[in-house]
Chain A
Amino acid sequence: MTATSLPGHGRATLAHDLPRSVRPDMRVPVRVYADDVLWEQIARDRSLEQLKNVATLPGVSGYVYGMPDVHEGYGFPVGGVAATRANDGVISPGGVGYDINCGVRLLVSDLTERAVRPRLEALVHEISRSVPSGTGRGGRLALNEAELNGVLANGCRNLVERGLAPIEDLETIEAGGTLRRADPGAVSVRAKTRGRDQLGTLGSGNHFIEIETVETVFDAAAAQTFGLGAGQVAVLIHTGSRGLGHQVCTDHVRLMDQVMARYGITLPDRELACAPFASPEGQRYFGAMCAAANFAFANRQMIAQRIRDIFGRFFGAHERLRLVYDVAHNMAKLEEIGGELLCVHRKGATRAFGPSHPETPNRYRGVGQPVFIPGSMGTSSYVLAGTDAALALSFGSTCHGAGRALSRHAAKRAKPGVEVRRELEALGIAVACPSSGELAEEAPFAYKDVDRVVDVVDRVGLARKVARLRPIGVVKG
C-alpha cells in the first residue's frame, strides 16, 4: 500500500493506493480515499480484498475507487466505484447490487422546527402509517401489467403523464427520473410479480424517511441555489427499487454466472458475475437494470407525493414541499469521461457531477449537482455539491453515507432497540419503527463518523459541503 498526497493537500494522506503489483490478477490499481482513522476502520473487514477483486474485471479502466464510507459488501464492497469500457469491458450486476437505484431524495419546506415541533410525533406516525414499509407489503398503488410496464419504461415521466406527480419535479431528479435505455421486456415475470404492489413502499433495513432541520449552512450561495436556508424543515427519503430490483439482480447474477465461461471470464468471486457490456446478456441486464431504476425513481416520487399530502393536511396546502434533488447511489451508468465511453458502476456511491457538467440540472449549473449523505438516525446528514474535479478523481462519484462500522449482529448485542429508541427520543427525535431489533441494527453507533467521512470528501474535492441537516423525526422500515 502506498499513501499518496493529493495536490493541494500538503502532507495529508487522504488517498491510499494499492498498486496492480499487490495481486497478479489485478488489471488496474485501487485507490481508497480516507484519513488515517477511516483507513484503519476500512482495513478491518474485507473491503480491500473486495476492491482488489473488482480490479480484476475485464475492461476495467483507470482505478477502482473506494469512497471514505467503504465497507464490506458482497462482490463489490459498499462504497465502491469501477468504470469499465463500454466497447470491450463488462457489466456486473454485483457492481450495482440487489437494491438497484437505491437513492436519496430531499424535499424542503418553508416551515421551521418551531412550527413543526408541536405536531412532530403525530406527523412521524402518520407518515409511518401512510407509507408501507416492509418487503412485500403492498402500497396503495397496485399496478396492472400495462401500468407496471409504463413505470418501468418511463419512470417518473409516466407518473406525470398519469397526473400522479408534478412535471416541475422532473428537472431535479437524476436523469429526469427516466432512464431511456430501460427495457421492460428484459424484466422477468418473477421480478414484475414482486414489484406489482410495491410502488410507494419504503422497504426495510437501512431505508428510512427522516424529518430534518437545516442546522448549518456552509456555502450560502449554493444553499440558496438549492432552496435551503438555516432553520428550514426538510424531508429525506431513502429507498430503492424494492423486490422488483432485487429479483432483476438475482436473475442476472445467475444468468451471467452461467455464461461467463463462454466469454472466457474467470473471477475471484462468483458474486461479481459479469458479461461483456456489448453482449446480448450485458445489454439485457442493462435494459432490465434501467427499468428497475425507473421503478425506484417512481417509488421515491410516490412516497414524496404521500408526504406532501400529509404535510398539506397538517400544516395547510400552502406549505408545499419542494423537491431539491433525487440521486441514486446503486447504479451503472453509461458516461463519457476523458473521451472514453464508460459503464460506471457505483455501488453505495453517489454520482457527484460538477457545475459545468451537461447532466447537472440547468438550475444548478454553476453550483454543482446536489448530493445527499445521510448520517444515521441520531447524527447529521449532509447536503453537498458535486465538483468538476471529481470526474478525474473518482469518475464523478462520492460517498453515500456514513458507512457501517459494526455488523448488525454486533450492534444488536451492544444495545437493545428500546434503549436506542430512548436515546433518540432524549435527543428530541421522534421515532416510528415497527421492530426494536431493526432499530438496534441501525443505531448511530453502528456507523462511522459521518462528519469525518464528509470532511474527507470535501478535502479531497469529490464534493463540497453546502449544509448540514439535523434529524428531528425518523420513520424506519
Chain B
Amino acid sequence: MLATPAHLRATTVMQPSSRQVEHTAEVCVHVRAPSLGELAAEAGRALARLELATPTPSPSGPSREIEVWATDRAALLVDWLNELIYLAETERWVAAEFDVLEASDTGVRMRARGVPVAEGPARVKAATFAGLEIRPIPGGLEAEIVLDV
C-alpha cells in the first residue's frame, strides 16, 4: 500500500461538509468528506437541502437501499445524484440521510431515509460533469458539482 503524502495527512478526522460556491447560471456545490462514500452521502444531503423547503424537515418512515454503479468516480457521483433526483421527482420522496453500506470507485450502496413530499421538489433538473473533479485533500476528498436548476 502506498503511503499517504505528508501534505495530505490529516491530524483529525474530517467531518463531511458542503457549501454553495458562485456559478452564474446554475448551483455549484463544494463538498468535502473523508472518503468517496461519505462524499457521495454529503452531496446527497446538499441536494436534499436544495430540493426541500427551509428548514429541511427530518426524514421519516422506513429506510431503503439505493445502489448505483458507474465506470469511474466522477461518473459515480453524477449518476448517484441523478438517481436521487429521479427518485424525488417520480416517487415524491427526497432522500435526505444516508449510511454508507458499501463504496468503491465504481459503486455505492447506501441506506437512505427520506422525506415524503406531496408534490415533487421544484429545483434541480440534473447533476452535470461540468468541471467535476474529485481531488484528494488532507484527510479526505473534495469536489465541486454543478447542478442544473
**Stretch of B5-13, B37-45, B101-109, B127-135 lying at the A interface:** B127-135
**In whole angstroms, what is the CA distance A246 to B82 when docked?**
10
Closest partner residue, chain A, to B54 (CB atom): A437
**In whole angstroms, what is the CA distance A410 to B25 when docked?**
11
Closest partner residue, chain B, to A407 (CB atom): B22
Pick the residue among B20, B25, B122 that contacts A404 (CB under 8 A).
B25
Interface membership of A75, Cβ < 8 A: yes
Inter-chain contact A271/B129, CB cutoff 8 Å: yes
Closest partner residue, chain A, to B22 (CB atom): A407
Closest partner residue, chain B, to A202 (CB atom): B122
**In whole angstroms, what is the CA distance A323 to B119 when docked?**
31
Residues of B contacting A97 in the complex (Cβ-Cβ under 8 angstroms): 148
Inter-chain contact A98/B126, CB cutoff 8 Å: yes
Which residues of A does B touch, CB under 8 Å? 45, 47, 71-75, 78, 97-99, 132-138, 190, 193-194, 204-205, 243, 246-247, 249-250, 253-254, 257-258, 269-271, 273, 404-410, 434-435, 437-438, 477
Pick the residue among A136, A138, A247, A254 that contacts B75 (CB under 8 A).
A254
Inter-chain contact A98/B24, CB cutoff 8 Å: no
Interface membership of B120, Cβ < 8 A: yes
Inter-chain contact A254/B125, CB cutoff 8 Å: no
Pick the residue among B23, B53, B71, B128 that contacts A72 (CB under 8 A).
B23
Residues of B contacting A271 in the complex (Cβ-Cβ under 8 angstroms): 128-130
Residue total for B at the interface (Cβ-Cβ under 8 A): 37
Interface membership of B96, Cβ < 8 A: no
Q: How far, in Å, is A209 (CB) from chain B's closest CB?
A: 15
Inter-chain contact B119/A270, CB cutoff 8 Å: no
Q: Which of A45, A135, A243, A257 has the most CB of B within 10 A?
A: A135
Residues of B contacting A258 in the complex (Cβ-Cβ under 8 angstroms): 71
Q: A97-B148, A247-B86 are in contact. Are A407 and B130 (CB under 8 A)?
A: no
Inter-chain contact A136/B88, CB cutoff 8 Å: yes
Q: How far, in Å, is B144 (CB) from chain A's closest CB?
A: 12
Residues of B contacting A435 in the complex (Cβ-Cβ under 8 angstroms): 53, 122
Q: How far, in Å, is A400 (CB) from chain B's closest CB?
A: 12
Pick the residue among A78, A249, A269 that contacts B25 (CB under 8 A).
A78
Q: A72-B24, A409-B20 are in contact. Are A273 and B89 (CB under 8 A)?
A: no
Inter-chain contact B126/A250, CB cutoff 8 Å: yes
Pick the residue among A137, A253, A404, A437 that contacts B119 (CB under 8 A).
A137
Q: How far, in Å, is B95 (CB) from chain A's closest CB?
A: 14
Inter-chain contact B129/A409, CB cutoff 8 Å: no
Pick the residue among A138, A249, A404 that contacts B24 (CB under 8 A).
A404
Residues of A contacting B26 in the complex (Cβ-Cβ under 8 angstroms): 73-74
Residues of A contacting B137 in the complex (Cβ-Cβ under 8 angstroms): none
Inter-chain contact A134/B122, CB cutoff 8 Å: yes
**In whole angstroms, what is the CA distance A73 to B71 when docked?**
25
Residues of B contacting A434 in the complex (Cβ-Cβ under 8 angstroms): 122
Inter-chain contact A269/B90, CB cutoff 8 Å: no
- B1-41 CB contact bits vs A (8 Å, 1 = yes)? 00000000000000000001111111100000000000000
Residues of A contacting B132 in the complex (Cβ-Cβ under 8 angstroms): 270
Nearest first, the 7 closest Cβ-Cβ pairs linking A and B are A136-B120, A134-B122, A74-B130, A270-B129, A136-B89, A204-B122, A74-B128
Residues of B contacting A205 in the complex (Cβ-Cβ under 8 angstroms): 123, 125, 149
Interface membership of B79, Cβ < 8 A: yes
Pick the residue among A75, A134, A407, A438 that contacts B128 (CB under 8 A).
A75
- B29-68 CB contact bits vs A (8 Å, 1 = yes)? 0000000000000000000000001100000000000000
Inter-chain contact B126/A136, CB cutoff 8 Å: no
Q: Which of A74, A75, A253, A257 has the most CB of B within 10 A?
A: A74
Pick the residue among A137, A408, A438 that contacts B120 (CB under 8 A).
A137
Inter-chain contact B125/A246, CB cutoff 8 Å: yes
* Residues 83 to 97 of chain B near chain A (Cβ within 8 Å): 86, 88-90, 92
**In whole angstroms, what is the CA distance A416 to B74 when docked?**
35
